[in-house]
């Protein structure tokens, strides 16, 4: 007997690169999820996706795409 729910969405896994490290993440993951996955403080990082700075205001709405390349920078005070 097939007990699977045909209407249930299947989470697809995609490959992304974060700071030159290849990772597999759910396709439904947003950029905020990537930051959380890296256990970084939101207020102390900047993020570049495929060569473009992504403002923090877009992190919740912007989903990861297959083969995205992310660079995450920690902001450090001092001189």
Q: Which CATH class is domain 13-74?
A: alpha beta
- 9-15 contacts, C-beta under 8 A, 24 or more apart: 14/64, 14/65, 14/66, 14/67, 15/66, 15/67
pLDDT score recorded for residue 9: 58
Segments making up each domain of the chain, as ranges: 13-74
Checking if the pLDDT of 1 tops 80, the result is: no
Mean pLDDT over the full length of the chain: 88
Residues 30, 17: Cα–Cα separation, whole Å: 14
Banded pLDDT at 17 (limits 50, 70, 90): very high
> Quick one: which of 3, 22, 1 has its CA closest to 13?
22
Name the nearest CA neighbour of 70 among 34, 44, 39.
34
Residue with tokens 């700075």: 53
At 45 the pLDDT is: 92
- Global pTM reads 0.79
């Amino acid at each position: 007997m097939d007990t699977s729910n045909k209407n249930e969405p299947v989470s697809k896994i995609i490959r992304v690169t974060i700071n030159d490290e290849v990772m597999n993440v759910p396709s439904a993951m947003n950029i905020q999820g990537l930051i959380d996955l890296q256990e970084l403080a939101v207020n102390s990082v900047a993020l570049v996706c495929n060569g473009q700075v992504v403002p923090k205001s877009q992190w919740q709405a912007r989903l990861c795409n297959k083969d995205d390349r992310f660079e995450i920078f920690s902001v450090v005070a001092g001189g």
